[in-house]
Structure formats: structure tokens, C-alpha cells
């Protein structure tokens, strides 16, 4: 079960990955000011994440900005080298910043972690979406079916943003 609506974003060291490279940051600092849309994925380059999730957010990034969103973040447990390459391959940079949470510490702090060891993946994020305003979680949804992108997808989150402003 994810953190409750109204909870403050957790303070957790992660790597922010964008066109400039990767740098150590505190997650709470990144989302402390403004409106942030977040989508969490089980893994970079996985079929659903690569072909459906990321392209949706890139494609609607201007609409998110027009609706008052300051930043879009993608969370994954992949290391920052993989996240850097994924951002380059998808053309995400300039639209979506990536968060590398290599040890799943943020995933656990957000209570969005799941053990995928049976599939050989270890601890990963569940597929989820969040809206954080000035450091406070105002919306969170978790996908209920594997491989499905409905409540965590860009079109749904754009509707959430428009209905929460």
C-alpha cells in the first residue's frame, strides 16, 4: 500500500538523470516546490515501460506543462547508467527526468516496492502514478493488472492534473 494522500514526500537519496548526466539528490528536495507528476515503472527497457509508458508522457509533456505541471519524473530501480541510456534512447530528456533508485530505497519509502524475485528481477517498483504538490502527495494510484498501463498512464494522469487544479 502506497503512502497516504497528504503524506510528505520522503527524504531519500537518489540519482537524478537528465541530459546533463546523473547527480545525487534528495527526492524530497526535487518535489518540494511546484507540481510534479510521477510515474513508477518496474524497469527501463521492459516492453510495457519502453513502448507504452514513457512515450505517453513524452508525447503529452506540453499538455502537462500547459496544465500547470512543473516536472515529470519517472522512477525505476535501474542504475543510473541504464537510466541515462534509456533516456537517450527514448528521447525523454527535456520532457521527462529520470530517477535512478538502484537499491529500491525510495520505492520502499514510498511503499511502492514489490518483490519480483520469482521472475529474477529482485525488488522493483509497482507500476504506479503520483501527483505531488509542494512536497505533499495529493494523488496516488497503482495498476492492478501486470503489463497494463491505465491509472499510471499519461492520459489518465493528465486528467487527474486538470481535475486537481
CA–CA distance, 22 with 26 (Å, rounded to integer):
13
- For the question of residue 49 being annotated catalytic, the response is yes
CB 92 within 8 A of CB 74: yes
Query: What is the chain's alpha carbon radius of gyration, rounded to the nearest angstrom?
Result: 14
CA–CA distance, 96 with 87 (Å, rounded to integer):
8
* CA-based nearest residue to 75, from 116, 33, 123: 123
User: 71-76 and 97-100 as β-strands: parallel, antiparallel, unpaired?
Assistant: parallel
Annotated catalytic residue, options 30, 41, 49, 58? 49
Residues 6+ apart with CB under 8 A from 65: none
Alpha-carbon dihedral angle through residues 85, 51, 153, 146, given to the nearest 10 degrees? -100
Active-site annotation, residues: 49
Amino acid at each position: 500500500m502506497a503512502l497516504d494522500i497528504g503524506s510528505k514526500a520522503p527524504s531519500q537519496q537518489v540519482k537524478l538523470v537528465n541530459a546533463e548526466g546523473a547527480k545525487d539528490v534528495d527526492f524530497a528536495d526535487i518535489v518540494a516546490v511546484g507540481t510534479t507528476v510521477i510515474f513508477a515503472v518496474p524497469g527501463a527497457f521492459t516492453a510495457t515501460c519502453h513502448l507504452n509508458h514513457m512515450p505517453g508522457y513524452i508525447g503529452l509533456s506540453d499538455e502537462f506543462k500547459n496544465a500547470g505541471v512543473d516536472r515529470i519524473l519517472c522512477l525505476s530501480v535501474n542504475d543510473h547508467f541504464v537510466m541515462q541510456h534509456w533516456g537517450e534512447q527514448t528521447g525523454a530528456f527535456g520532457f521527462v527526468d529520470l530517477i535512478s533508485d538502484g537499491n529500491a530505497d525510495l520505492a520502499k519509502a514510498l511503499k511502492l516496492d514489490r518483490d519480483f524475485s520469482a521472475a529474477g528481477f529482485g525488488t522493483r517498483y509497482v507500476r504506479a502514478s503520483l501527483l505531488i504538490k509542494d512536497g505533499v502527495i495529493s494523488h496516488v494510484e497503482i495498476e492492478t493488472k501486470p503489463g497494463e498501463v491505465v491509472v499510471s498512464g499519461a492520459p489518465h494522469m493528465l486528467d487527474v492534473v486538470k481535475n486537481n487544479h
